[in-house]
C-alpha cells in the first residue's frame, strides 16, 4: 500500500529560510482564537518526529505538561537527521547522526521523558520508506492502551519528511485505533493566519505554563548541531528566529 502524497512542499520551497518567512508579529497580531486541547483524556502518547528536534519544536511544551501529569510520552524519531548539512562525506554524515541522537536523548531528559526510539530511516528520503514506517508505528501503537495519542508532524507541514511521517502516522492511527494529533513546525514559516491550506477548522491550541515553555526552550538548546554555525562564515541550519517564533506562537495540533 502507498499512501497519497499531497501537501505543501512547494509552499515551503518558495519561502527560503533567508527571507525570514511569516513574521512572528503577523501571527500574534492575528489573534487566532482556537479551542483549547483537553489534555485530561490522554492515557499515553507516541510522539513521532521526522528528525531529532521536531518533537521538541512542535510539541515539546505539551509533552512537558503531559509528563508532569503522569502521562507516559514516548518519542520516536523516524530518522537520525544525518542530512542536515549538505555536501557531507559518508563519515561526516555518520558523525552527525551520532551527534543528533545524543542531542535527542539529552532533550528528552530535559523535557522529563524517557529515552527516545530512533528508527534510522534515511534523512531526506522518508517518503520512500513510508509504508515501512506505517508498519512500525502500527506495531508500536498496538502495544499501547486504548485512546493513546499518536502525535506526529502534520501531513501538510511543507517539509517532505515531515509530511511523509504524518501520512504514515495517520495510517498507523487508523489501523490501531489511536487518536491522531498532528503538530506543525514549518507551517509557521510559509503559511499566514487566514491561509486556506491550513485546516483551522480542526485546530486546537495548547495553553502552556511558563515552566513548560522554559523546559521546551532549554530542550531546544540541546540541538546545538542545528542552532550553532558549523563553521566560521557558515549559517546554522536553523536561524535563531525559527525557535523564537515557535516559542512565541505556542503549540497547535490538528485533530
Over the chain, what is the mean pLDDT?
95
Question: What is the structure's pLDDT at 170?
Answer: 98
Question: What is the structure's pLDDT at 93?
Answer: 84
Question: What is the structure's pLDDT at 88?
Answer: 80
Domain spans in the chain, listed from the N-terminal domain onward: 43-254
The whole-angstrom separation of Cα 242 and Cα 21 is 9
- With 70 as the cut, is the pLDDT of residue 175 above it? yes
* pTM of the entire predicted model: 0.95
Higher-scoring residue by pLDDT: 233, 8: 8
Helical pair 160-176 and 130-141, crossing angle rounded to 10 deg: 40
What mean pLDDT do residues 206-234 have?
A: 94
- The architecture CATH gives domain 43-254: 3-Layer(aba) Sandwich (3.40)
The Cα-based distances of 147 to 125, 176, 179, 181 in angstroms read: 30, 10, 6, 12
Share of the chain above pLDDT 90, in %: 88
- With 60 as the cut, is the pLDDT of residue 1 above it? no
Question: What is the structure's pLDDT at 6?
Answer: 67
Question: What is the structure's pLDDT at 4?
Answer: 47
Question: What is the structure's pLDDT at 2?
Answer: 39
What cell was used for 60?
515539546
What cell was used for 146?
486504548
- With 70 as the cut, is the pLDDT of residue 13 above it? yes
pLDDT digits (tens, 9 = 90+) for 82-136: 887 777 888 888 899 999 999 999 999 999 999 999 999 999 999 999 999 999 9
Phi first, then psi, for residue 158 (nearest 5°) are 110, -40
Amino acid at each position: 500500500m502507498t499512501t497519497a502524497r499531497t501537501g505543501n512542499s512547494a509552499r515551503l520551497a518558495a519561502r527560503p529560510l533567508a527571507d525570514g518567512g511569516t513574521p512572528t508579529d503577523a501571527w500574534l497580531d492575528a489573534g487566532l482564537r482556537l479551542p483549547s486541547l483537553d489534555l485530561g483524556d490522554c492515557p499515553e502518547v507516541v510522539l513521532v518526529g521526522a528528525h531529532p528536534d521536531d518533537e521538541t519544536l512542535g510539541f515539546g511544551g505539551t509533552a512537558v505538561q503531559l509528563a508532569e501529569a503522569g502521562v507516559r510520552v514516548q518519542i520516536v524519531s523516524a530518522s537520525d537527521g544525518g542530512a542536515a548539512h549538505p555536501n557531507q562525506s559518508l563519515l561526516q554524515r555518520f558523525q552527525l547522526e551520532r551527534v543528533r541522537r545524543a542531542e535527542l536523548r539529552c532533550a528528552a531528559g530535559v523535557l522529563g521523558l524517557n529515552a527516545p526510539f530512533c528508527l534510522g530511516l534515511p534523512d531526506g528520503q522518508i517518503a520512500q520508506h513510508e509504508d515501512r514506517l506505517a508498519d512500525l508505528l502500527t506495531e508500536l501503537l498496538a502495544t499501547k492502551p486504548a485512546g493513546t495519542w499518536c502525535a506526529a508532524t502534520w501531513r501538510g507541514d511543507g517539509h517532505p519528511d515531515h509530511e511523509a511521517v504524518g501520512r504514515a502516522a495517520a495510517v498507523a492511527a487508523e489501523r490501531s485505533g489511536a487518536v491522531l494529533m498532528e503538530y506543525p513546525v514549518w507551517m509557521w514559516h510559509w503559511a499566514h493566519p487566514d491561509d486556506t491550506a491550513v485546516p483551522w477548522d480542526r485546530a486546537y491550541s495548547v495553553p502552556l505554563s511558563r515552566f513548560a515553555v522554559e523546559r521546551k526552550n532549554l530542550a531546544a538548546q540541546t540541538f546545538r548541531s542545528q542552532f550553532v554555525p558549523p563553521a566560521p562564515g557558515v549559517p546554522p541550519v536553523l536561524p535563531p528566529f525559527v525557535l523564537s517564533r515557535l516559542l512565541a506562537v505556542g503549540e497547535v495540533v490538528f485533530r
